[in-house]
Amino acid sequence: MTDSLETALGHEFTDDSILAAALVHRSYTAEHPDIADNERHEFLGDAVLQLVVTDFLFKHYPSMREGEMAKVRAACVNRVELAAIARELGLGDHIAMGVGELASGGRKKDSILADAMEAVLCAVYLDAGLEASRHVILRHWTGLIRSKAQAPGGRDFKTRLQERLASRGLRPDYVIEDAGPDHAKVFRASVSVEGVVLGTGSGRSKKEAEQEAARQALGDESDV
């Protein structure tokens, strides 16, 4: 049942019971008191996610101050972004929920998806350690982190590229392609000016792919 989730996640569990425990919503536990919910997993998963994101920012953005790093991290690990990544993974289809929660559309709720995403990251950590967790997190979060790591003035990579080209009377053109099944779709973007490709990028969403293509097109300027 969870094979498709493991494929989308990018981690094959050595102990399937760890993943199963991370997929139990409290509404299921209310109907099955002998089975623990995943709330403890959420707590640890949140800590692992924050550590990996913070470490990435610290290493890749040496000029970014503490307050800026805190803002970028918060923008990457909030409920909306967690739920969005959970949807890309098809995580909602694998969560064990109570009958009432299912009937109320629980598989689509941001709060449930976000919490389950944290719990699954905890499961990866428990199954294989921090480096495996880092691999999974950066696979799904790198594009988002880079897009949130804005330059002074709050301009993201696409905006910065557009402004730089506009000063020369030019405009960027983006082409998007996607590949893979719906539960593990990867988007690839290229950005060009007058037919000349300046950068390419990939991501789990169109936005991430475009941001990565723009970042590559900016070159060294993307780090300032």
Length of the chain: 224
Do residue 120 and residue 219 come from a single domain?
Answer: no
Query: For residue 222, what pLDDT is reported?
Result: 53
Q: Which of 101, 119, 148 is the last residue of a domain?
A: 148
Distance of CA 201 to the CA centre of its chain: 15
Do residue 143 and residue 162 come from a single domain?
Answer: no
Smallest CA-to-CA distance from 116 within 65, 166, 79 is with 79
Confidence of residue 158 (pLDDT cuts 50, 70, 90): confident
Annotated catalytic residues are: 46, 118
CATH number at residue 176: 3.30.160.20
Quote the number of domains for the chain. 2
Which structural domain, as residue segments, surrounds residue 138?
Answer: 3-148
Do residue 54 and residue 71 come from a single domain?
Answer: yes
Do residue 99 and residue 174 come from a single domain?
Answer: no
CA distance 124 to 201: 26
Do residue 135 and residue 201 come from a single domain?
Answer: no
Q: CB of 72 within 8 A of CB of 1?
A: no
Do residue 214 and residue 186 come from a single domain?
Answer: yes
Do residue 23 and residue 108 come from a single domain?
Answer: yes
Do residue 132 and residue 162 come from a single domain?
Answer: no
Tell me the per-residue pLDDT of 85-137, one tens digit each, with 9 for 90 and over. Answer: 999 999 999 999 999 998 998 899 999 999 999 999 999 999 999 999 999 99
